[in-house]
Amino acid sequence: MKQLNRWVYAVIGTVVLLLAGLVYAWSVMAKTIGASRPDWTAAQLSLSFTLVMAFFCVGCLIAGILSRKVKPNIYVIIAAILFLAGFMLAATTGDSPAMLYIGFGVLGGMGAGFAYNAVMSTISAWFPDKQGLISGILLMGFGLSAFIIGKIFAAAAPPDGSEAWKGLFRTLGIVIFVVFIICSFFFVRPGKDFVPPTSGKKKSGREPACDVDTSTMVKMPSFWLYYVWAILVSAAGLALVSQASGIATQAGEGVSAGTIATVVGLISILNGIGRVIFGGMYDKCGYRVTMLTDMAVFAAAGFILMAALKSNSFTLIIVGFIVGGFAYGGVTPTNSALISDFFGRTHYSLNFSIINTNLLIASFASTIAGKLYDASGSYMSTIIMMLGVVAAGLVVFLGIRRPEK
C-alpha cells in the first residue's frame, strides 16, 4: 500500500482509539446495568471496570511481546473479533454478573489493549519529532470515547431498569467490528528511509536519553520510580472515572439521568483536551514540569469535589469534573512520551506495553472505591482516596531522574 501523508494515519489511529476507549464510559453503563440488576452491589459493578482495565493491560502486553512477529493490522483485526465476541457475550448476562465480567471485562479489555498497542506503536512511529503531541492527539480519541458513547448509551438505554442495554451492547460490538476491519488496512509502519518533514525549521524534540531493550529498562531505578508514580496517579483518575455518575448523583439529587451523563461526559472531553495539552507540554517543557502540573491539577480537582459533596453543589461537581478530567488527561501521554524520551524508540512497543501494566494495579482503585462507598455510604471516601494517592505520587516523583547517556 502506498504510504500516505502521516496525518492521515493519525486520523485513522484516533478513530480506532475513539471506539476502543468506550471502556471509559463504564460509569454511565454501570448506572444503566445496575438499574436492571438492583441486587448487585457497587463493588460487584466496579469489578467489571477493574477487569476491563486489567485485561486491557494484558492485551497491550501480549501485543508488545509479539510486535516483532505480528503486523499491526493483525492486532486491529484481533481487537475487532474480541470486541464483537465480548459484547455479544456480555449481552447474555443473566442474574449473575459472570457473563458481563467475561464479555466486557476480559474480552473487551483485551480487545482495547490490542487496539491501543497497535495505534500507539505504529502511528507514533510516524512522528519521532512530536512524541508528546502525537500521543496526546491519539489518546484524545481514547478519552473522548466516554463522552460520545456515554451519551449514546444514556439515550438508547436509560437507567429505567429495562434490558435495553443488551441490545445496545450487540450493536456496539457489530459497529466496532466493521470499523476496525476497515481501518486495519491503514496500519503500516514508516519505511526505513522515512524522514519527518521539518518545513525548513529546526528539528523539534530531543534525542532519547538512551535506547535500551526491555530487560535493561526494568533494571533502571528511573523506570520503577516512574512506574509507581503512574500507578498512583492513574489510580486517582480511575477512581474518579469509575464513580463519576455516583458522585454527581449524590450532589445532584433530582437531576435527570441525561444531565448526569452529560456532566460525567465532561471528564471525557477535558480528558481528551488534557491529553493534547499535556503531550505538547512534555515536548516543550520536559517531564518535570508536566508531572508536577498534572499532580497540582489533580489535587485542585479533589478539593473542589470535596467542597461540592459537603455543600451538595452540583455546580461545583461540574467544575470538579472539568478539572479532574483535565488532570487525568495528563497521565497517558506522559507514559508514551517518557518511555520514548527516557528509553528510546527501537524497543518502544514492548517497553510501552510494560509501562502500561501499571493499570493492572491502578485498576483496583475502582473496586476499592466501590467498597469504600459500600462501607461509608458516601462518595467522599473516593475523593479522599484520590487526594491520598496523588500525595503519595508527589513523594515518588521527587526521586525520578532522566537516565544519563
Q: What is the pLDDT of residues 327-343, one digit of tens each?
A: 998 988 899 889 989 99
Q: What is the mean pLDDT of residues 155-175?
A: 88
Confidence class for position 1, pLDDT limits 50, 70, 90 = low
Q: Is residue 11 part of a domain?
A: yes
Q: Is residue 403 part of a domain?
A: no
Q: Is residue 194 part of a domain?
A: no
- Please enumerate in sequence order all residues whose Cβ is within 8 A of that of 322, keeping only pairs 6 or more positions apart, or say none: 266, 267, 270
Host domain of residue 92: 6-189+207-397
pLDDT greater than 80 at residue 198 = no
Q: Is residue 196 part of a domain?
A: no
Q: What is the mean pLDDT of residues 311-338?
A: 91
Q: Is residue 212 part of a domain?
A: yes
pLDDT greater than 90 at residue 181 = yes
- Please enumerate in sequence order all residues whose Cβ is within 8 A of that of 67, keeping only pairs 6 or more positions apart, or say none: 117, 121, 349, 350
Q: Is residue 405 part of a domain?
A: no
Confidence class for position 196, pLDDT limits 50, 70, 90 = confident
Q: What is the mean pLDDT of residues 2-13?
A: 83
Outline where 22-163 has alpha helix (H).
Answer: 26-36, 42-65, 72-90, 98-100, 109-123, 131-156
Q: Is residue 200 part of a domain?
A: no
Q: Is residue 199 part of a domain?
A: no
- Return the pLDDT at 204: 46
pLDDT greater than 70 at residue 405 = no
Number of domains in the chain: 1
Confidence class for position 306, pLDDT limits 50, 70, 90 = very high
The CATH number linked to 337 is: 1.20.1250.20
Q: How far apart are CA 392 and CA 315, in angstroms?
A: 29
